[in-house]
Chains A and B, each alone.
Chain A
Amino acid sequence: MIKLENVNKWYGDYHALVDINEEVTQGEVVVVCGPSGSGKSTLIRTLNRLEPIQKGRILLDGQDIYGPGVDVNALRSRIGFVFQQFNLFPHLTALENCTLAPTRIRKLPPQEARDLAMALLNRVGLAHKASAYPSQLSGGQQQRVAIARALAMSPPVMLFDEPTSALDPEMVGEVLQAMKGLARDGMTMVVVTHEMGFARDVCDRVLFMDQGSVLERTTPERFFTRPEHPRAQKFLADVLSPWQGTPDASA
């Protein structure tokens, strides 16, 4: 479904993504993890052209998304994207956030868009907040609305860029529940996250990144029980029991 071939990206002299070759198949849930600055957010942002790449190809259903003559807007409407900072539209209600794109881009009649949006808000447990503005919602609720908003375009793929990193700890669960529900319904998902519990329970495959390269690609069972790469081992030790590690002299 998504195929990356020899993807490279530079910020000036800085080599942000190094020779990435990956494939995500239909219905697969892939978690991308790694230390901060490892390129995982950059990677997921290249998948819907929020960041340009300098070398290589990214194919969505066989179509090169950086190819000449590609309608980037049509492309993006087929890829749901959920941001770390939610980025809901603050001047619109939760419901209007979810109906804006369907009415304007998919040209759904207002009533149909409304029904769809209500169904999706209901799915993330927020039908009762339909007329609330983003500022009246908690972080977890905002992120769930953001998921519903992305789903309203009926994308075959959903990308999540650290969807729970900006949340207070007690709100992480409700967002992960919503994502888990999506995964169960067969959605193809790529998730950048530090939530190792989600990775262990929900995903089909883990990619571990550091310094712009994918160092390990494996099943969650193997990743959590027998990580191969030394940096993956250190990362897991730091993330799973942060109070036990010793301060890294090189950091």
Chain B
Amino acid sequence: MWEIIQTYWLYYLIGQYPEGPLGGLALTLVLAALALLLAFPVGILLALCRLSHYRSLRWPVTAVVYVVRGTPLLMVVFWAYFLLPSLTGQMTDQFNTMLAALVIFDGAYLSEIIRAGIQAIPKGQTESARSLGFNYLQAMRLVILPQALRNMLPSLVNQFVSTIKETSLGYIISLNEVSFVATQINTQLLTRPAEVYLLLGLTYFVLCFGLSRVAFWLERRLAAGVAHQ
């Protein structure tokens, strides 16, 4: 395994960059980070629509969430791959295709976590915020979401860890993220798949485990401020 790392470490980390496009682990990290950063606000937005008094907001978003939840991510990736170009009229590259699929898919899942978190906050919190004169969005931003997100943290981290692993499906549309690169290495070596894929497995584990630990630390820090009633 050591000599595989010695030979291929740079290719594994950044793909053919700078001669070719960025790839490998670096691309996986960029994709996962962007997907998290974009899917989170999308999730909040979808959750607020799901909870809205207005049917015109609630119904379409509810439909989208149900469709996405009832579909494998692979299907969403295919849709994005074949549909986006025909919608926008120009070829979308693999990276943006995968990013769009992840944001839609995780946005839908996150919205259900966030919706549950918001609904778990007692109604009196909204009432007291509104009675002070805050409008709906201020009450959400200053009073409800800070409490809700704190309670949701474990579920959110679950979803974030999933997102990191989901980036590996980019393989199917030839996005040269770390799984794709590992497969390329395996093809060149031919005889040593166990080691190559062990290395790949370890890479994902370290990423996900690291994120879980950071979240755990964050959770304890937040809990230190406020003992729950």
Contact = CB atoms under 8 A, between A and B. Distances in A.
B127 interface: yes
B130 interface: yes
Interface string A66-101: 000000011111110101010111110000000011
Choose among A79, A85, A149 the residue with the greatest number of B CB atoms under 10 Å from its CB. Answer: A85
A136 B224 CA distance: 13
A90 B147 contact: yes
Looking at chain B's contact residues, is the secondary structure mostly helix, strand, loop, or mixed? Answer: helix
Interface residues on B, range: 20 to 34
A134 B128 contact: no
Nearest to A102: B132
B131 A81 contact: yes
A87 B124 contact: yes
Contact of B132 (A50, A77, A85, A133): A77
Interface stretch (B30-38, B96-104, B134-142): B134-142
A101 B134 contact: yes
Interface in A147-194: 149-150, 153
A101 B133 CA distance: 8
A76 B146 contact: no
Given A50-B127, A133-B227, A135-B229, A101 B143 contact: no
A73 to B, nearest CB: 5
B18 interface: no
A105 interface: yes
A83 B134 contact: no
A226 interface: no
Given A90-B147, A104-B142, A136-B227, A79 B134 contact: no
A76 B132 contact: yes
B52 interface: no
24 contacts: A50-B127, A50-B131, A73-B130, A73-B134, A74-B133, A78-B133, A83-B127, A83-B128, A87-B128, A89-B128, A90-B147, A90-B228, A91-B146, A91-B147, A91-B225, A91-B226, A100-B142, A101-B132, A101-B134, A105-B133, A105-B134, A135-B226, A136-B227, A153-B132
Interface of A: 48, 50, 73-79, 81, 83, 85, 87-91, 100-101, 104-105, 133-136, 146, 149-150, 153
